């Protein structure tokens, strides 16, 4: 699996014949709408949610998933108050960083199942820079953080924004990663598409009343750039309001392919078809 930093105006390098042969005809993905455990529990929540994530990754693997997508801040829930200050002395921190042993069970699950898993967490870089991140755990167990670019509200006081989308290769498919409000900014998806992304994978929190907004964002990003869209929404109650659910997948025509039925924890499976993607990209309106 390879990583790519996507630049808005970077030239797209087309694959040669040998590279094309390695691209899987389909990509089986699991979009996990997840209701975080022990919301407001700070560092205590991390270990509990890691255990639950392991179970869900194994369930998705049993259904054939090669890619598993979780929501924004899935390891803690969207409780920004938990990240303020340094916390009580001797108490576990909700922040994660490189080498955090609490991630080990999830890393082992990805190695065991040979899946690529994207989870949501608050992350501190080696220089202590605070980030709102998606952590990508690949099939060899390595962890790579991707940072939210478009922070909003109280996030701006807690986190430093990232520089734009990044992509990971899964079975030859280029999967660009976005965090919540990134999907509300067309330039973010545009940069991903210009650099050759096949899938736009969004970890998010959309609350009740934002159902239309959610669908319009993912439908437009997918249709405008002829790529598949995936969105994992945080489930249950949050400080921003109750989740609106609707985690799912969108095709390169902008139409919804599959969506969650409720607002709690639910695994939505979808098979992304390469021939359908190529058909839209080669058509008269590509």
pLDDT at 8 over 50: no
pLDDT at 215 over 60: yes
What band does 89 get if pLDDT is binned at 50, 70 and 90?
A: low
Q: Give the pair of three-digit tokens for residue 275.
A: 């021939």
Boundaries of domain holding 247: 26-83+91-282
In a domain, 16, yes or no: no
In a domain, 10, yes or no: no
pLDDT at 12 over 70: no
Strands 173-179, 3-5: pairing kind: unpaired
pLDDT value at position 88? 52
What band does 283 get if pLDDT is binned at 50, 70 and 90?
A: confident
pLDDT digits (tens, 9 = 90+) for 110-137: 999 999 999 999 999 988 999 999 999 9
280 exposed, middle or buried (CB, 10 Å; 0-12, 13-18, 19+)? middle
In a domain, 20, yes or no: no
Question: Across residues 2-14, what is the average pLDDT?
Answer: 37
CA distance 177 to 226: 16
What band does 285 get if pLDDT is binned at 50, 70 and 90?
A: low
Q: Are 236 and 264 in contact (CB under 8 A)?
A: yes
pLDDT value at position 7? 38
DSSP string spanning the chain?
A: --EEE--TTPPPPPP-HHHHTTS-SEEEEEEEEB--SSTT-THHHHHHHHHHHHHHHHHHHHTT-SEEE--TTTTT-S-GGGGSSS-STTSPPSEEETT-GGGHHHHHHHHHHT-EEEEEEEEE-TT--EEEEEEEE-TT--EEEEE-SS--TTHHHH----SS-EEEEETTEEEEEEEGGGGGSHHHHHHHHHTT-SEEEEEE--BTT-HHHHHHHHHHHHHHHT-EEEEEEBPS--TT--B----EEE-TTS-EEEE-SSSSSEEEEEEEEHHHHHHHHHSTT-
Which of these ranges, 15-24, 40-49, 235-244, has the smallest mean pLDDT?
15-24
Total domains, the chain: 1
The mean predicted confidence, pLDDT, of the chain is 91
In a domain, 11, yes or no: no
In a domain, 70, yes or no: yes
pLDDT at 167 over 70: yes
Q: Give the pair of three-digit tokens for residue 76.
A: 């803690």
pLDDT value at position 18? 42
CA distance 229 to 243: 19
In a domain, 9, yes or no: no
pLDDT value at position 227? 98
Look-up of token digits 């659910």:
245
CB atoms within 10 A of CB 157: 9
pLDDT at 4 over 60: no
pTM of the model: 0.92
In a domain, 218, yes or no: yes
The CATH code of the domain that includes 161 is: 3.60.110.10
CA distance 152 to 53: 27
CA distances from 99 to 102, 180, 186, 207 (A): 9, 26, 34, 33
Q: Identify which of 3-7, 25-29, 43-47 has the greatest average pLDDT.
A: 25-29
Question: Across residues 215-222, what is the average pLDDT?
Answer: 98
CA distance 27 to 171: 7
pLDDT value at position 41? 82
43 exposed, middle or buried (CB, 10 Å; 0-12, 13-18, 19+)? middle
In a domain, 2, yes or no: no
């Amino acid at each position: 699996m390879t990583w790519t930093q996507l630049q808005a105006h970077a030239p797209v390098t087309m694959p040669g014949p040998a590279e094309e042969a390695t691209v899987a005809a389909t990509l089986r993905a699991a979009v996990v709408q997840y209701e975080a455990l022990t919301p407001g529990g700070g560092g205590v929540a991390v270990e509990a949610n890691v255990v639950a994530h392991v179970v869900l990754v194994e369930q998705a693997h049993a259904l054939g998933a090669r890619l598993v997508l979780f929501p924004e801040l899935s390891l803690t829930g969207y409780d920004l108050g938990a990240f303020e200050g340094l916390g009580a002395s001797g108490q576990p921190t909700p922040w994660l960083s490189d080498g955090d042993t609490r991630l080990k069970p999830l890393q082992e699950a990805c190695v065991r199942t040979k899946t690529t898993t994207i989870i949501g967490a608050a992350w501190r870089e080696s220089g202590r820079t605070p980030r709102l991140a998606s952590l990508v755990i690949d099939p060899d167990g390595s962890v790579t953080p991707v940072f939210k670019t478009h922070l909003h509200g109280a996030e701006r006081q807690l986190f430093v924004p990232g520089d734009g989308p990044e992509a990971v290769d899964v079975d030859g498919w280029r999967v660009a990663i976005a965090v919540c409000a990134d999907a509300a900014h067309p330039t973010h998806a545009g940069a991903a598409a210009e650099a050759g992304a096949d899938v736009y994978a969004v970890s998010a929190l959309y609350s009740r009343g934002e159902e239309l907004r959610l669908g319009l964002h993912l439908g437009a990003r997918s249709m405008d750039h002829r790529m598949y869209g995936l969105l994992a929404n945080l489930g249950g109650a949050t400080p921003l309001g109750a989740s609106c659910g609707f985690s799912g997948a969108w095709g390169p025509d902008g139409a919804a392919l599959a969506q969650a039925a409720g607002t709690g924890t639910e695994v939505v499976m979808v098979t992304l078809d390469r021939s359908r993607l190529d058909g839209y990209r080669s058509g008269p309106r590509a």
